[in-house]
Each structure stands twice: as C-alpha cells, then as structure tokens.
Structure 1
Amino acid sequence: MSFKIVVIGTSLGGFSALKNILVDLPQDFLVPIAIVQHRHKDSDKTLVGLLQEHTCLPIREVEDKDEILPGQIYVAPADYHLLVEPGYFDLSIDEPVCYARPSIDVLFESAADVYGEQVIGVILTGANQDGMRGLKKVKARGGITIVQEPATAESSIMPEAAISAVAVDWILSLSEIAPLLVNLCHSIRK
C-alpha cells in the first residue's frame, strides 16, 4: 500500500521532537509530510529554517493552494489552519480549535477525509488535547496511527489524550518513529 501523506502534530517541546525525527529521514523519503506545530500567532518563519538544519529534505511553510509534492516537508504557518485537499493544501482563518490555530485536529481530519487509509498520523509531545479527534478520524478511515511514548515526551498530555481516545497502532520513543515511517513508506520507493 502506498501512502499519500504523513501528518504530524505537536505542541510544547515540539521543535526538539521534530528535529529528532527529521534528522533520521533519508533523502529518498518521498511521502510528503505536513506538520502542525503550535506556536505564537506572531511567530515568523524561523522554525522552518531551524528545522531545515536537521534534514536533507526540503522544508517550507505552506502558502495557500500549494501543491502537495513528494519528498517535501510542509509546516503550517502561524495563525492559519492547514487543510489537505486532493493534491494541494488550503489555509483557513476559521476559529481556533482546542485553543489552537493551526489546529492538529483540522489537519488530521482533512487528510483523513481526502486520503483515507493512505494517511499516517503522528502525535508528539504537547500540553493540550489537540490532535486526539484528528487521530481518531485517521484511524476510523483506515490510516496508520503513531503516538510518541508519553514517558519520553517533554509534555505527556497530548500523547496521553490520543492514546486514551484511539486504539493506536504504535506507541514509540522518538528514535523509533523515523525508522518506522521509512519502513511503512518503503513500498513506494522507486
């Protein structure tokens, strides 16, 4: 089975967690990755630059109607919800969800609606419950669900909420997540 997208959601402690995962992804990792990292609405694009230092894959902040391309990492811009449409991204300034915009739930639910079982959802460290509903929808549509082992998270609230709500496929430490993603997505490599 080939996957269309990996969606990752994180909040408190997310930069460090993302860095640990991205550094282990090979240059030929072709499945696009979309990331929601909760951050202040006025934050600039430094997150993208800092993450780029830890991966050979190109990272960019999403602009409205960006095409979803293989081998790319996309980061939701501050203060916009990131939605997946068939083949492209949509940005929205709808109300915050779980006090967050961008919301992990919005990204995950839209990805599940569009790509169903071809979605891999990953919940990392965070201090609220955002992502729980979205991960539930990914699972309900037949996608793969991965959650950071709460004991290894800087803030365990978000992973624990996801685990309490969803029969998660894998609960892993950070160092185990990238190898699993590579393994799962290997079938689409050329």
Structure 2
Amino acid sequence: MPKFNVIVMGASSGGIQAIRQVLSGLPNRLNAAVFVVQHLSPDSINLLPDILNRQCPVTVRAAEDGMSIQNGQIHLAPPDRHLLIDADQMHLSRGPRENRVRPAIDPLFRSAALSHGRRVIGVILSGSLDDGSSGLLSIKKAGGRTIVQDPETAITPDMPSNALRYQTPDHCVPADEIGPLLGRLLNDSQDSGNASGLTPRMRSELRKETAVLMRQSGDIKTAEHLGELVAASCPECGGPLWEMTDDVPRFRCHTGHAYTAQHLVAGLEEAEEQSLWVALRVMEERLRLLKRLAENDAERGFTRAAELASEKAAESEQHVNRLRKMLGDIPE
C-alpha cells in the first residue's frame, strides 16, 4: 500500500506559533510534500517563509502557480491567493473568497482529498471559527489521515474545537507533538490510511467546487447541483445562496463565495453593521438639510414652515441618536 506523501495544514489566529512548532519537529529527510494555508491579510507582505525557515529543518517557500509537487518541500499559500493541488502540480487562484478569506483552508484540503486520497494527511491548527472543518472531513472520507491540534493547547481553540465537532480525528495532540507524529506516519509503510468513503457523487462535487475556485465554472446550475436554495443572500455579492449537501453546514452563491454556517452568520452580521452605518449617514444628511431649511425659512420670515422643518429635524435627531447608540458610537 502507498505511503502518505502529501501533508496539508491549515491555521488562522494564533497559527504561526503552532505552524512553527509543527514544522520544527519534522524529520530532516521528509518523505512528503507539505502545503500550508495560514490566513493572511490580502495586502500583507509575506514574511512567513523567512520566519519559519529559522527553525524548520526543511526549506519553506511560497507556493508558485504551476510548480511541480515534490517530496521534501514545504510550500505556503501567498496572500490573496487560494492554494490548490492536483496530481502533480500546485495552482494559485484569485477565485471567490471562502469563509470570507483568501487563501482559505477548505479549498486546499478538498483538492488534496480529490487528487491524492489515501496519501493525504490533513492537519488543523489554532484559529477562529471553523475554516478547514469541511475540508478535513473530505480528507477523512477519501481515506486520508486527520490530525487536530489539542484545543486546550491552541492560542485560539475555535478551529480545532469545531473540527472535533464534525469528526473523530485519527490523532488529537499538542502542536509540538504533531511534527514527530507526522514523521512516524510517513515512515510506517504498514499504515496505509483509512478506507476511502468518497462516493462518485462526492467526487463529482469536489471537482465542481475546485473548478469554481479555478474560475473554470461558476453559475446558477453549478450552485443548484451542489445544494438547495435558501432564504438568505450572500454577504459579499448579495446573490442567492444554496445550502450544500455536506456533513458540515455550508452555503455557496452562484458566483462562488462559500461559507460555513458560522462564517455566514459572521458575514451577515458584518453586512448588517455596514448597512446600519450607511443608514446613519443618510439620516444625518437628512437631519443637516432639515436644520438648514428651518434656519433659511426663519430668516425669510416663513415661521410656520420653519417650525415644521424644526419638528422634523428634532424627530430625525432622535432616530439618529438611537441608531448611534445601537452601533455603540455614543454611550448609553
């Protein structure tokens, strides 16, 4: 049976320390290709390879589009690009954001499960919310191994805790034990992984989702195939959302934005706040105009008109103050 030769790793808040601990524990002669997604700001300067190379026994570099996959290499997703892999190459995509981030963890994990199946080891480290939970489950179903950092040892335990909600991983250990564990798994020729549980339908869905991120497809028919229409709108583009047929509650719009339920709630909360700030701006503009009309009418001797404008301004000011309190812009 084949040895594992692909390791995919995902982290977010608090993840750099965890990634450093994992990579520093890897063997010098690494019989695997390693791919890492750490949530990064789109406009950040990618200094992570330099930081990790100070302690990692294997050279760490930024992934490049079209680069061949080889054992003994560690590649990091660059800012503002999804990292996906196929049978022998890595691909970078500026496709739709998933879980409100790019790079996202789930796309890398899904593409690894699709292309390498039982030869994949998936690792979830410290981070907020639940990016990676769905992708890790895909790896498990494809027969690969799954490892989750012990949430009690994570700086931000949400991602490991949520991954544990949806599956029982093969291993749940502190970050500093994951590197040596990976070395043992890679050297154990008898350990050939789990039985693959990918049905033809699951494999088809993984292909379709990967194609969306590679901008090879993405339309209403694709979204309809992946799930059922729900009464909610995409926080990023305002389009309709389909709930996907997955063990992890997920949603996708036809332009390609995708969310777990937790990320969708967070995205809708953010969209709601943005809408309220827009409403506040419009209301304040109306208030200023009413006050100006009242002043102009008073100066011209239009007493009744000035009184009406002042009354409307007073009422509008009450609404403005209520909305400001709701937004936390002024104290109670």
How would you bin the TM-score normalised by the shorter chain?
over 0.9
Corresponding position of 1:17: 18
Matches within 5 A, 1:90-101: 90-101=91-102
1:34-56 CA-to-partner distances (Å, cap 9, x unmatched) read 00000111112211100111112
- For residues 172 and 58 of structure 2, the distance between their equivalents in structure 1, rounded to whole angstroms, comes to 25
- For residues 99 and 169 of structure 1, the distance between their equivalents in structure 2, rounded to whole angstroms, comes to 28
- For residues 52 and 30 of structure 1, the distance between their equivalents in structure 2, rounded to whole angstroms, comes to 18
Corresponding position of 1:8: 9
The structure that has the greater radius of gyration is 2
TM-score (norm 2): 0.56
More helix by share: 2
TM-score (norm 1): 0.96
- For residues 37 and 129 of structure 1, the distance between their equivalents in structure 2, rounded to whole angstroms, comes to 13
Q: CA deviation at 1:31?
A: 0.5
Corresponding position of 2:166: 165
Structure 1 residue ranges, 4+ long, deviating more than 3 angstroms after superposition: none
Note if 1:146 corresponds to 2:147: yes
1:114-171 CA-to-partner distances (Å, cap 9, x unmatched) read 0001100000000121000000100000100000000110001100111101221111
SS at match of 2:99: coil
Contact 1:30–1:72 at 8 Å: present in 2 too? no
Contact 1:85–1:114 at 8 Å: present in 2 too? yes
Amino acid in the other structure paired with 1:107? L
Q: Give % identity.
A: 39
5+ residue gaps, structure 2 = 190-332
Corresponding position of 1:105: 106
- For residues 143 and 181 of structure 2, the distance between their equivalents in structure 1, rounded to whole angstroms, comes to 18
User: CA RMSD of the aligned region, Å?
Assistant: 1.0
5+ residue gaps, structure 1 = none
Note if 1:37 corresponds to 2:49: no
- For residues 145 and 188 of structure 2, the distance between their equivalents in structure 1, rounded to whole angstroms, comes to 15
SS at match of 2:61: strand
Q: CA deviation at 1:30?
A: 2.1
Corresponding position of 2:52: 51
Corresponding position of 1:124: 125
1:64-120 CA-to-partner distances (Å, cap 9, x unmatched) read 011111111000011101001111101111111111111100000000000001100
Amino acid in the other structure paired with 1:150? P
Corresponding position of 2:78: 77
Amino acid in the other structure paired with 1:63? E
- For residues 7 and 61 of structure 1, the distance between their equivalents in structure 2, rounded to whole angstroms, comes to 14
